[in-house]
Every structure is written in structure tokens, then in C-alpha cells.
Chains A and B, each alone.
Chain A
């Protein structure tokens, strides 16, 4: 079973601030890293699937980078808006014959207007 950790656990920022948070995972036998955005009372929504070391993906004001050698991924939000308030989850599926994904606890982001 993988150990996927996210930090910080929660984050409060002002509207317009840029912010970032971290997902760390074991670098050995890496297969992929998934980021999800989870708003209260809604389903987790897939943001990015990252597989290659050095990958950088972008969706609007949100971007993510991946370092598989050192076992971390950063999620960046540029110019945070109140609607960005959500819990951001990362998950890493197993490798080899197993797909069982391990989720981090999530980073809860609150953007104050």
C-alpha cells in the first residue's frame, strides 16, 4: 500500500493570491498521479492525470507539475477566486498488476473575497 501525503491540510488565502500545495508519494514503482477537485456536496472532479517526470499540465488558472524521481507533485492556483474553494485530492494508483489507488487526505482551500 502506497503512502500518499498532502500538505498543508488546509489553506486560507485572499482573493487574487496565488497559492500552491504538495502531494508526495513513493517514487519507486510510480505509475501515475491523479489530482481531483472536490467541492462540498459535489463529486470529486478529475483535474489532471500525470505520468511523466517533468510533466506540467494546465487548466485555466490551475497547473500542476510532477517530479517522479523525488516523489512529489505541486498544484498551483494563480489569482485564486472564491469559487476555487474546495478540497484538492491527489491519488496514486498502484503499479504492476495492481491498480488499487491510494488517496492523500486532501488540502482544503478557502479563498476569502
Chain B
């Protein structure tokens, strides 16, 4: 069964460093998403992406964040200058249709020290 994959599973970085989190969505899906969950808190929407551009983004998704689909396969989330409060589990998801069922990846745990 097709699934969303994410790499790495765990990333440790120092404050101020740039990180790139990678996702490979399900191949026939057209809509892509990033979410995060800070430990003990709700899952929060970051951004949705369709047709090579951002569809929607939340207030969390400020100028330090960016997304890209560099090669038609990968979908990446870049955080330019990480802060301690960026430590969270980051989930990628994809869906075939807008507002359709989203299929989640296993997540990347980002730890900023």
C-alpha cells in the first residue's frame, strides 16, 4: 500500500542553524501539507501546497519557513534559523483531492538545542 515517507526520523540541530525536513508524498496525490505537534500540545497546521505553490499557511508559518517541491517527488520544509521553540514533531501529509482524506507520514522529531 502506498505511504508517505519522511526523513530523517530524528534531527538534532543547534539554535540558529538551518534544517530541511524531507517528505515523499504518495505518488498520485496533488495536495501536500506540513503540520507540527509540540510535545503535549495539539497538532497544528503549518502550510498546504498545490500546483507548485502555497495554497494556505497558518500564522505559525512565518518568514523563517519555506516549502519546496524540488523534483516532482520530494516535498521539503526548510526552517532557516531554528529557535528552541521550533522543537516539535513535524508531519507531512498528502491527499488526492482538496479537503480529501489526508495520509500522514511517520514524522520527523526536530530537537533544537
Binding site for B on A (CB under 8 A): 31-32, 34, 36, 41-46, 49, 89, 91, 93, 98-106
Q: State A42–B105 Cα separation when bound (angstroms).
A: 8
Name B105's closest neighbour in chain A (CB-CB).
Answer: A43
B interface secondary structure, majority:
loop
Please, which residues of chain A bring their CB within 8 A of the CB of B3? Answer: 43
A91 to B100, CA, bound (A): 12
B contact set with A: CB distance below 8 Å: 3-4, 41-45, 48, 55-56, 58, 91, 98-107
Q: Known: A99-B55, A103-B42, A103-B43. Is A46-B103 also a contact (CB below 8 A)?
A: yes
Give bound CA distance, A83 to B91, whole Å. 23
B65 shortest CB reach to chain A, Å: 15
> Which of the residues B56, B103, B104, B105 comes within 8 Å of A99, measured between beta carbons?
B56
A75 to chain B, nearest CB (A): 16
Alpha-carbon gap, A97 to B72, bound state (A): 26
Inter-subunit contact B101/A43 (CB<8 Å): no
User: In the complex, what residues of A have CB within 8 A of residue B105's CB?
Assistant: 43
17 contacts between A and B (CB under 8 A): A31-B99, A34-B101, A34-B102, A43-B4, A43-B91, A43-B103, A43-B106, A44-B91, A44-B104, A46-B101, A46-B102, A98-B56, A99-B48, A99-B55, A99-B99, A103-B43, A103-B45
